[in-house]
Amino acid sequence: MNFKSNMKHMNIKIAYFSGTGCTAYAASILRQTAEKMGHEAALYKIGSAEEFDLKTDELLIICYVVHACNPPKPVINWLKNLHNAGNSAAVLSVSGGGEITPNLASRLPAVRILEKKGMNIIYEDMLIMPSNWVIAMSDNLASRLIEVLPLKAEKILSAIFSGIVRRTAPGPGNRLLSILCRLEHFGAEKVGRKMIISKDCTGCGICSIKCPVGNIKLNDGKPVFSTLCTLCLGCIYSCPEQALSLSMLKFFRIKEGFSITRLLTLPPPGENFDLNTETEKAVWKGVRKYLSDI
């Protein structure tokens, strides 16, 4: 694909993987922004039964949440099975911490798989969405991230449509961290199998519906977990009775819970938002940098 020859009008496929809904929302904003800029864009949910067809004149944008310094296992498997080659692609990772260690090599596995298939990687970047893992963000900080998402999407897409190439080069330490943390893929399967189901479970099936990899089935009105878990925590956060919990690695779950639906209803923080105060904790260093560059 001659990327620069398609700057006036582009056809885009945005393939995304999302656990708790943050990346799905980010992907939807990318599509809306691309369409407002005069381009055609379609969404594809990785893990769905829908057939994926990438035409030679389409730009592929891969958008996924970072899992343990890496793309989630379903994303890696999907990319390995992707038959279309010779196109241009952009890889966008999504995290709650930003472009800092340990996330710096989170796109490298995806980039290498696509390059081996002959695809031209023209752009890499990261979007930040509210944290849904280990450490909770304040509502003010979360709503600010949601507020600036369309601006970030426009900035990224404007660069892509202008023919600007952006590639990142993580250092050896972050590359090694990415390799070591792939062990989480195997650990997640075991942790998922040992999910605790309390007596409060009503068998509503919401956990099964929310699971992005189809890991949960109902048997006699109770959820049964298979070996496909990615530890996205979507089932735990979405349970209306709070009947699901981790038997191991309990600190992964934010005690207050997480709901992107709730966060999307929050009003923008406006003039009451103080970036330095909201990001004073060292863990939000990457978020501070991200919000400073708008």
pLDDT digits (tens, 9 = 90+) for 119-175: 999 999 999 999 999 999 999 999 999 999 999 999 999 999 999 999 999 999 999
Over residues 9-35, the mean pLDDT reads 97
Question: How much is the pLDDT for 289?
Answer: 97
Q: In this predicted structure, what is the pLDDT of residue 86?
A: 65
Q: pLDDT value at position 6?
A: 46
The pLDDT-based confidence of 189 (bands split at 50, 70, 90) is confident
Give the pLDDT confidence score for residue 7 in this predicted structure.
55
Where is pLDDT greater, at 244 or 183? 244
pLDDT per residue as tens digits for the range 70-114: 999 999 999 999 986 668 999 999 999 999 999 999 999 999 999
Q: What is the pLDDT of residue 2?
A: 41
Cα(184)–Cα(257) distance, integer angstroms: 22
Give the rounded percent of residues in the chain with a pLDDT score beyond 90: 86
Q: What is the 3-state secondary structure (H, E, C) of the chain?
A: CCCHHHCCCCEEEEEEECCCCHHHHHHHHHHHHHHHCCCEEEEEECCCCCCCCCCCCEEEEEEEECECCECCHHHHHHHHCCCCCCCEEEEEEEECCCCCCCCCCCCHHHHHHHHHCCCEEEEEEEEECCCCCCCCCCHHHHHHHHHHHHHHHHHHHHHHHCCCCECCCCCHHHHHHHHHHCHHHHHHHHHHHCCEECCCCCCCCHHHHHCCCCCEEEECCEEEECCCCCCCCHHHHHCCCCCEECCCCHHHCCCCCCCHHHHHCCCCCHHHCCHHHHCCCHHHHHHHHHHHCC
User: What average pLDDT does the structure give for the chain?
Assistant: 93
What's the pLDDT at 1?
39
What's the rounded mean pLDDT across residues 206-219? 95
What pLDDT was estimated at residue 84?
A: 67
Give residue 3's pLDDT: 47
> Which one has a higher pLDDT value, 76 or 190?
76
pTM of the model: 0.94
- Would you state the pLDDT for residue 184? 85
Query: Which of 145 and 9 is assigned the larger pLDDT?
Result: 145
